[in-house]
Amino acid sequence: MGTANNVLIFADIRNGTLRQVTFEAISVAHQMANGGEVHLAILESLDPNQIESLKQLKLDRMWHVDHPLLKTFNLDAYVETWVHLIDLLNPDVILTGHTALGRDVSPRVAARKRIGLLSDCIKLDTSSTYEFVFTRPIYAGKAYVQRTITKPPFFVTLRPNNFVAHFDTSLDQSIEIKTFHPNLSQISLRTVVTDVVRKVTSGVDLSEANVIVAGGRGVKSKEGFAPLEELAVVLGGAVGASRGACDAGYADYALQIGQTGKVVTPDLYIACGISGAIQHLAGMSMSKTIVAINIDPEAPIFEVADYGIVGDLFEVVPLLTKEWQRINR
């Protein structure tokens, strides 16, 4: 098994807080470093309260990258800053989430540095004769490939919700936060974000939710999602949707799960009125436990379901809510 001397993680931030996938990257980093140094780089403005709490995390150093061009996402500025930090720290492992941010920045940085990049990894194996072996789904989740990197640095993006998150704050001493000022005076910003229309409402982040109640075309209307939302609330989860439901206007595209939408790996996925098309399965088939509720016993969703109820979702879903409330009282 290999060890890395120096691991660098690029944080992913949403609404001023670190996304869960960053904590997952920290635990992968510790597995790979096995005693080596772990660095975390934070580029966007983070809530000052969170910075304080992060000081207790088991990290060797945090880099707070401060530059006016990085306050909001800009591709050129981000690529340049990542490259600067990699040149400065010379890590043998670079980790980030396989999120919109990671997907945009990591391939450009990898191409610039002519290094290998393993994208969308779901598992790390350290027991092989190779240094580190990562597993990633291929063919829309119909097979897996295990790959390794032939020459450091190891550059890896992690699919959210597939690794145990690290929240260990056992350090008795708070770690040092270094401020890094990248020199971005030479770069031209060739793309400019003029507007962001937020459709993702507050509440549980879909790609990080432990429980997802998802509705498809079988939900039949926008109002039809109300019982699904009630169930999601009592289970502490989030609501998702199939492309069918989004196309029909019952749900916003922000909720779409599947190849084109979000890829999710919750502990519990409840599919209501979803037929189970391959593009939908690509986004959820790795959920730990899958429940299907569908009036059609032949629906392909039952092939991936651990538990199935053949029945009308409008009858079943409210009964599930009631039953959970009853035994939880």
Partner 1 sequence: MEILICMKQTFDTEEKIFIQNGEIDDDGVERIINPYCEYAVEEGIRIKEAHGGTVRLITIGGAEAEAAIRTAMAMGVDEGYRLDLTDFPADSDEQTTSECIVQLIKQKQIPYDVILCGYMSIDNGTAQVGPRIAELLGIPHISTITSLTVDGRQVQVERDVEGDLEKVESSLPILLTAQQGLNEPRYPRLPDIMKAKRKPLHRMKWDELRVDVQMIQARTKKVAILPVEEKETGQILSGTIKEQSQELIRLLHEEAKVL
Ligand X SMILES: Cc1cc2nc3c(=O)[nH]c(=O)nc-3n(C[C@H](O)[C@H](O)[C@H](O)COP(=O)(O)OP(=O)(O)OC[C@H]3O[C@@H](n4cnc5c(N)ncnc54)[C@H](O)[C@@H]3O)c2cc1C
Closest approach, Cβ 319 to ligand X, in A, equals 13
Closest approach, Cβ 206 to ligand X, in A, equals 13
Whole-Å CA distances, 212 to 47, 228, 255, 280: 28, 10, 11, 14
Residue labelled with tokens 């190891």 = 154
H or E segment at 85? helix 75-89
Residue 61 burial (CB count, 10 A): 15
Give me 153's structure tokens. 């640095």
Residue labelled with tokens 């290094």 = 115
Cβ nearer to partner 1, comparing 9 with 79: 79
Residue 278 is assigned to a ligand binding site: yes
Cβ nearer to ligand X, comparing 56 with 260: 260
Residue 293 is assigned to a ligand binding site: no
Residue labelled with tokens 């029909």 = 248
226 binds, among partner 1, ligand X, none (CB under 5 to 8 A by kind): none
244 binds, among ligand X, partner 1, none (CB under 5 to 8 A by kind): ligand X
Closest approach, Cβ 298 to ligand X, in A, equals 9
297 binds, among ligand X, partner 1, none (CB under 5 to 8 A by kind): partner 1
| Interface residue list for ligand X (CB under 6 A) | 216-218, 242-245, 256-261, 273-275, 277, 279-280, 283, 293-296, 299, 312-314
Closest approach, Cβ 305 to ligand X, in A, equals 12
267 binds, among ligand X, partner 1, none (CB under 5 to 8 A by kind): partner 1
How many residues can be counted in the chain? 329
Query: For residue 319, what are the contacts with CB-CB under 8 A and spacing of at least 6?
Result: none
Q: 47 forms bridges with which residues in the sheet?
A: none
β strands within 201-281, DSSP E: 211-215, 238-241, 268-272
313 binds, among partner 1, ligand X, none (CB under 5 to 8 A by kind): ligand X
Cβ nearer to ligand X, comparing 124 with 140: 140
Cα angle 276, 277, 283 (rounded to 5 degrees) comes to 80
Cβ nearer to partner 1, comparing 63 with 269: 269
Closest approach, Cβ 33 to partner 1, in A, equals 20
Contact 266, 259 (CB under 8 A): no
Residue 136 is assigned to a ligand binding site: no
Instruction: Read off the DSSP letter of residue 141.
Output: G
User: From the annotation, which residues make up the binding site for FAD?
Assistant: 217, 242-243, 256-260, 273-280, 294
User: From the annotation, which residues make up the binding site?
Assistant: 217, 242-243, 256-260, 273-280, 294
